[in-house]
A and B are shown apart, each in its own frame.
Chain A
Amino acid sequence: MEDPIVLENLTKDYGDNFKAVDALNLKVKRNSFIGFLGPNGAGKTTTIKMLTNLLTITSGKAYLNGVDVVSDPKSALSDIGAVVETPEFYPFLTPIETFEYLGSLRGMSKQDITKRGKEVLELVKMTDWSTVRIGKFSKGMKQRIALAQALLHEPSLIILDEPTSGLDPRGMVEVREVLLELKKRDYTVFMSSHMLNEVQEICSEVAMIDHGKLLAYDTVEALVSKVESKRLEVRLANQVSGEAMDKLRAYHGVELLNVLAPNNFQLDFKGGDEDQAGLLLFLQSQGLKIVSFKESGLALENLYMSLIKSSR
């Protein structure tokens, strides 16, 4: 079976020396949940739009399930479900009517559409709204219907472009629940995002891009293990002395020290678990009454920031 997504030197050139996507190469493995990470303007949405027939490709190749997106878009798109940007619906149609339209275009029978329509509405918790016109829905509800239509025909590949973008906290939690449910099932999911906590929580693999170029692509564990420096936050019951701080600055592995308050500081520490345990003992030996000693921020965030920084 072919890889669900293959990009070969994919390029989108808008002229004036501006390449939104610059010779991007990527192979996505089947049944993986990929987070496609990058800052705003990195080329994530442009890549997804080229994959889904919304933008033309300047040069290079893009294959979906082995089918060339440019030469045979109809076949290439036949086994994918996509939610790109925040799609709008025909406001006068209900979710069921929308499913009937999209399902028929995708080759589903009426019985199939009815059965799957119920299932996907249940999955996104919109069953009670199945016969209400979509024009009356909130943005979060529309996003859940967008996810439902993408799953309607049980595609092997789902492409999502920042699916929680613009949602309120409750909407984000609801969409994340759906995504976690998808992870348990037999799908390949390719999801762009700039929400690192979301990616680290949901995705099994991560591809990072900036300036339209791939910076890193690996499993979340492998990428996290590459992060050498951890950010630690320490809170004390007493006030920290200047002498103790000077000794801490000189301690092996301490790279950056930030005093946040007289009894609270943050430091970047390079070392393994044993080294970290040794640091804790050292702090205690300096007479510091430690209330909490914890890693702050995400390992993926640290890697992301360092990769983005070095690519600029």
Chain B
Amino acid sequence: MTTILKRNPPSDMKQLMFVTRYDIYKHLRSRRLIGFLALETILLFFILALPPLLGHHYNNDPNGFIATFTGPNAINLLLAIGATLFAGDAIVSEYQNRTGYLIFPNPVKKSVLFAGKFLASVIIIGGGVIIWYGVAMISGVAVTGSVTSLAFYSLLLALLYAVACIGVGFFLSTLMKGSTGALVFTFALLFLILPIVDSTVGGLGGVKPDASLSFAGGSVGYILETPYPVDISRTMHVGGQNLTVYSFYPDVTVAVVTMLGYTAILGALSLILFKRKEMVG
């Protein structure tokens, strides 16, 4: 059959830009983005204000100063919340809120919608990470007089970890049927379940959890330590028995591969699930 079309839709690349732009705009209008930035500001305020308020001195070592921003759990909390807010219900909400009835009958591929939404999440959360490190580095220069290259490596690892967390969020968003469940599960998985599994499997089980995303994400903070920490084990006598406790540290290369793997595998699975998902009910 031949066809006569009155108006040709734009290229996939142009449509990708429209989807990304309007997804960011929607987050801005829904106040999620403002809430995320407000939370980031509060966290940064506490990190910078607490030492003088408690009568402590700032860490004078450039890497040590930046490390106060990467742990304990500060950046992980920010990324878990970011992935929850901007990826956790990115797909499922189109079905549950019935906005899919408005968007899907348009001349735009589902892969373009997916990529545009993913890119919007990366831009928002990545922007948050860059602001985080920007504040850390500027205040680091003010306090210690310098910033080392390790801070930039940490930033790159944090960005990679953010993208992998978004992959997890999108995967759960395509897998689950309700927005609330997807949001809660994304946050719980990234901030609670995976770290608990790491401690149990690694610390007590003696198995290095290289395949765990949160374990790989630990490299964001550890890379600032010189020398880079090495795996250790300690045996203690507890109740007349020997108990060996392990402390594992992610190898940076393995961590990068793990984070890339999560992004690629979960991203591909999410896209396949999204393409197959039907607008029923």
Contacts and interface: CB of A to CB of B under 8 A. Distances in A.
A74 B15 CA distance: 11
A92 to B, nearest CB: 4
A146 interface: yes
A102 B100 CA distance: 12
Given A66-B3, A92-B30, A93-B26, A105 B9 contact: yes
A104 B106 CA distance: 11
Interface string B3-23: 111111110000100110010
B9 A80 contact: no
Contacts of B18: 101, 104-105
A287 interface: no
A52 B107 contact: no
Chain A interface residue bracket vs B: 35 or more
Interface in A61-82: 63, 65-68, 73-80, 82
A102 B101 contact: no
B279 A49 contact: yes
29 contacts: A1-B4, A2-B4, A53-B105, A54-B100, A54-B279, A68-B1, A74-B9, A74-B107, A77-B105, A77-B107, A78-B8, A79-B5, A82-B105, A86-B101, A88-B97, A88-B99, A92-B26, A92-B29, A92-B30, A93-B29, A97-B25, A104-B10, A105-B9, A106-B107, A107-B7, A107-B10, A133-B29, A153-B7, A159-B105
Contacts of B7: 78-79, 106-108, 153
Contacts of B228: none
A74 B108 CA distance: 6
A29 B247 CA distance: 73
Contact of A102 (B8, B106, B278): B106
Contact of B107 (A78, A85, A97, A156): A78
A146 B103 CA distance: 11
Interface residues of B, number: 34
Contacts of B97: 88
A171 interface: no
A90 interface: yes
B6 A155 contact: yes
A105 B107 contact: yes
A120 to B, nearest CB: 15
B149 interface: no
Task: Say whether chain B's binding surface is mostly helix, strand, loop, or mixed.
Answer: loop
A1 B4 CA distance: 7
Contacts of B26: 90, 92-93
Interface of B: 1-10, 15, 18-19, 22, 25-26, 29-30, 97-102, 104-109, 276, 278-280
B6 A154 contact: yes
A74 B25 CA distance: 24
A54 B10 CA distance: 21
Contacts of A86: 98, 101
A204 B191 CA distance: 60
Contact of B102 (A2, A55, A88, A153): A88
A56 B104 CA distance: 12
A178 B151 CA distance: 62
A55 B110 CA distance: 13
A276 to B, nearest CB: 47
Nearest 10 Cβ contacts at the A-B interface: A92-B29, A87-B101, A54-B279, A52-B105, A88-B98, A66-B3, A66-B1, A78-B107, A82-B105, A87-B102
A155 B105 CA distance: 13
Contacts of A105: 9-10, 15, 18-19, 106-108
Taking each of A63, A77, A107, which has the highest tally of chain B beta carbons within 10 Å of its own beta carbon?
A107
A55 B107 contact: no
Contacts of B30: 92
A265 interface: no
Contacts of A79: 5-7
Nearest to B97: A88
B5 A75 contact: yes
Contact of B4 (A52, A56, A65, A85): A65
Given A106-B106, A107-B9, A108-B7, A87 B98 contact: yes
A73 B105 CA distance: 9
Nearest to A92: B29
A85 B98 contact: yes
Taking each of A49, A98, A146, A159, which has the highest tally of chain B beta carbons within 10 Å of its own beta carbon?
A49
Contacts of B108: 74, 105
Contacts of A78: 5, 7-9, 107
Nearest to B116: A105
A149 interface: yes
B30 to A, nearest CB: 5
Nearest to A97: B25
B29 A55 contact: no
Contact of A80 (B29, B100, B105, B109): B105
B9 A89 contact: no
A93 B29 CA distance: 7
